[in-house]
Amino acid sequence: MRAVIQRVLEAKVTVDGTVTGAIGRGFLILLGVRKGDTEKEAAFLAGKTARLRVFEDENEKMNLSLSDVGGDTLVVSQFTICADMKKGNRPSFDTAAPPAEAKRLYEYYIDALERNGLPRPKTGIFAADMQVSLVNDGPVTILFDTDNMAVK
């Protein structure tokens, strides 16, 4: 499972001209689910996301979590971050989970964020053609890849 987490001042996702999710200060999370991912990876990643300390404290050190600053989350499904670029110039998406499994784990991750004490995340619409806009804060962008982490 992969997540691109961007610290934002604001972000929103629009589908067919309608805003489906919008936040102020917080995290825009682009989430990609790969074949073989399970609830274990989703829960682990949600915990890491909830505890991620990238907001500045009174000493201007990135030492505060989303909960510490009262931030929100906007989670957008994005299978393209599962792209494999080992060969050629056209990305392969063979490692991305099938849509039904990806949607199930996307929803599990969203629920797990809430179980980790965050307010209910805002979302896009799974598998829709979405337009995402944001004001990146910093910019601060963190990439999580459960294949490179000690998932417990």
β-strand 2-15 against 18-23: which pairing, if any? antiparallel
Q: What angle do CA 136, 108, 111 make, to 5 degrees?
A: 70
Q: Known catalytic residues?
A: 78-80
Q: What share of the chain is helix, strand, coil (3-state, %, to 5)?
A: 25, 40, 35
CA-CA distance, 22 to 16, in Å (whole number)?
A: 15
CA 35 – CA 2 distance, rounded (Å): 12
Do 15 and 22 contact (CB within 8 A), yes or no? no
